[in-house]
Amino acid sequence: MKYSYKLILALCIIGLFSGCTIEEDDTPADAIDQLTITGRIIDHNNQPVKNIPVVFYFYRGAYIVSCNRKKATSKTDENGIYKFTIFRKTDEDNDGLEQYYYLYPDLDDKKYFTQATYFHDIDAFWTDRYHVVSDYILWEAQYINVIAKTKPKGAKRYQIECEYERPVNNFGGYICDISETSDTMGIKVPLHQDIKVPLHQDLKFTMTWDGKYKRTVFVKKDNLPKQIDLSYIPE
C-alpha cells in the first residue's frame, strides 16, 4: 500500500500530539543498495517449521514521531527457510537518531513466544551482501491461571516465578517473573493471575510472599493444567 504525501504529513502532525507510529511500505524505486538475508525457523525438536510469515522492518525514532518501515515479507518453506531481498533507502544510516533493522515471525503472540532479531549498526549491516541469521526456535505458548486461595497473614507483596527448562526468547530467557505490591490494604485473596508459559517443557512455579514465604509446584512437559494452585500452606 502506498500513502500520498499529504496523508503522511497529516499522520505526522497527529503523531506530534499522540506519539503514534507510522508504517510505510518499502519500494525499490529510490534504493541505493540491496542485499539478501536468510534464516531458518525450527521447533523445540529442531525440526523445520513451514508457512511461518516473517517481516523485516526499518525503525527510525525521533523526539516525538517514530517510523516503522516494512521493507520485506517472506514465508518459511518446507525446510523452515525464509529469504528477503532488502533495498536500502537514503535515510537509512547511522546519523545519530535511534535507527535499526529488525525482523520477527508475524504470529499471534498469545499462541507463540515471538521475539524480534535486531540489527542495530546499519552501516555495518550493509557491508555484507548476504546475511545468514541464526536459527530461530519457535515455542508454542499456553496461558495458565495461577490461583492463591490463602496467604500469610498481613502479606503485602507477592511474586510469581515460572522457571523454564530451556530459554524461549532466543536470548536466554529462562524465567517469567510477575510481582505486585500493596503497601496499605494488603493483597486480597483469592488471587488469580494468568501466566504465559511454553509448551513441551518441564516448568517450576514458585510463589513468594513478602520475600520469605514460598510455595513451589512442578509441572511435567506436555501435561500442563489450565490452573495451578499456589495457595499459601503454613509450615
Closest CA to 107 of 96, 115, 99: 115
Q: Are 145 and 192 in contact (CB under 8 A)?
A: yes
91, 149: one domain? no
How far apart CA 120 and CA 158 sit, in angstroms, is 37
Please report which confidence band the pLDDT of residue 17 belongs to, taking 50, 70 and 90 as the band edges. Answer: very low
**Full-model pTM:** 0.81
| Residue 92 phi, psi dihedral angles, 5° rounding | -100, 90
Please tell me whether residues 89 and 152 are part of one structural domain: no
E-strand spans in 13-92?
21-25, 33-42, 53-61, 66-75, 81-88
**Domain contains 234:** no
User: Per-residue pLDDT for 158 more than 50?
Assistant: yes
Give the closest residue to 122 by CA, choosing from 103, 100, 104, 102. Answer: 100
Q: What is the pLDDT of residue 169?
A: 75
Of 193, 200, 179, residue with least CA distance to 230: 193
62 burial class (0-12, 13-18, 19+ CB within 10 angstroms)? exposed
CA atoms within 13 A on the CB side of 182: 11
pLDDT of residue 16: 45
Query: Are residue 186 and residue 124 in the same domain, yes or no?
Result: no
Same domain for 99 and 173, yes or no, is no
Q: Which helix (H) or strand (E) holds 215?
A: strand 213-219
Let me know whether 74 and 99 are in one domain: yes
Domain span including residue 191? 141-229
CATH classification at residue 73: 2.60.40.10
E-assigned strand segments in 124-171: 130-132, 136-137, 139-148, 157-164
pLDDT tier at 86, thresholds 50, 70, 90: very high
Residues 23, 132 within the same domain: yes
| Residue 159 in grid coordinates | 511474586
CB 60 within 8 Å of CB 99? yes
- In the chain, the amino acid numbered 105 is P
pLDDT at 5: 47
SS3 188: coil
SS3 at position 41: strand
Across the chain, what does the average pLDDT equal?
85
Report the pLDDT averaged over residues 80-96. 89
The tens digit of pLDDT for each residue in 135-156 reads 999 999 999 999 999 999 888 8
Each residue's pLDDT tens digit, 27-44: 777 889 999 999 999 999
Q: Report the pLDDT averaged over residues 101-120.
A: 94
CB atoms within 10 A of CB 114: 18
**Residue holding cell 499471534?**
108
Q: Count structural domains, the chain.
A: 2
Same domain, 191 and 115: no
Tell me the C-alpha distance between 91 and 76, whole Å: 29
